[in-house]
Chain A
Amino acid sequence: AQSVTQLGSHVSVSEGALVLLRCNYSSSVPPYLFWYVQYPNQGLQLLLKYTSAATLVKGINGFEAEFKKSETSFHLTKPSAHMSDAAEYFCAAYSSASKIIFGSGTRLSIRP
């Protein structure tokens, strides 16, 4: 079955520390991948997308993600966390049925 798996439902880092949110996709999913961010009681906002142009994708707010086909991974990183980064993050992919499927999400907390 086509799926997107996010490892860790909750990640907590100190302000200024590296942020790493993990995402793996099933190999049957076409490699069109996205990261979205969601603030409380808000919709989802696109952070970045991979569409095979480059394996390292830069997004908004200083986030970037690297596509690794051999590992079927698309992890999200940010070198230095800011308090405003606290939110829920979702990895998503286009399925072969041309619909977007989402992972279960990772809640990012930032410690002062």
Chain B
Amino acid sequence: EAEVAQSPRYKITEKSQAVAFWCDPISGHATLYWYRQILGQGPELLVQFQDESVVDDSQLPKDRFSAERLKGVDSTLKIQPAELGDSAMYLCASSLDRDRATEAFFGQGTRLTVV
């Protein structure tokens, strides 16, 4: 069964360091999402791609976060510099397209701890 792949599963980094997460969506899925989930809360959308284009990054803290999806396939989310408040689960998801009836499939997530 096709899955969304994310790496690493866990990451511990020191404050002010750079950190990067990688996501490989299900083959053929045009839409890719990055969500941040703080413990005890629902996922919050950080950025949404349609193919290689960003269609929504309104909640992405652009002073320290960046995301790219070169060639419209896999994607990288970067934080530089990391802050203590960035500790959270970072979830990647993909869907066939922006059709509203299409559900998103999620990866296992990356648990980030900033110390």
Which residues of A come within 8 Å of B, CB atoms?
9, 30, 32, 34, 36, 41-46, 49, 51, 90, 94, 97-105
Q: Contact residue range for chain B?
A: 20 to 34
Per a CB cutoff under 8 Å, which of A44, A51, A99, A103 touches B106? A44
Given contacts A46-B105, A99-B45, list 18 more A-B pairs with CB under 8 A: A30-B100, A32-B100, A41-B111, A43-B91, A44-B91, A44-B93, A45-B106, A46-B103, A49-B101, A51-B100, A90-B42, A94-B100, A97-B56, A98-B55, A101-B45, A103-B42, A105-B41, A105-B42
Can you name the residue of chain A whose Cβ is closest to the Cβ of B41?
A: A104
What residues of chain B lie closer than 8 Å to A90, measured between beta carbons? 42-43
B48 near A: Cβ within 8 Å?
yes
User: Contact between B108 and A42 (Cβ–Cβ < 8 Å)?
Assistant: yes
User: Contact between B100 and A98 (Cβ–Cβ < 8 Å)?
Assistant: yes
Which residues of B come within 8 Å of A, CB atoms?
4, 6, 33, 40-45, 48, 55-56, 89, 91, 93, 98, 100-101, 103-109, 111
Q: How far is the CA of A29 from the CA of B56 in the complex (A)?
A: 17
Can you list 13 residue pairs at the A/B interface with Cβ under 8 Å?
A32-B100, A32-B101, A41-B109, A42-B108, A43-B107, A43-B109, A44-B43, A44-B93, A45-B106, A49-B103, A90-B42, A102-B42, A104-B42
Minimum CB–CB distance from A4 to chain B (whole Å) comes to 8
What residues of chain A lie closer than 8 Å to B105, measured between beta carbons? 46
What residues of chain A lie closer than 8 Å to B108, measured between beta carbons? 42-43
User: Contact between A43 and B4 (Cβ–Cβ < 8 Å)?
Assistant: yes
Q: How far is the CA of A46 from the CA of B101 in the complex (A)?
A: 13
What residues of chain A lie closer than 8 Å to B33, measured between beta carbons? 99-100
Can you name the residue of chain A whose Cβ is closest to the Cβ of B104?
A: A100
Can you name the residue of chain B whose Cβ is closest to the Cβ of A52?
A: B101
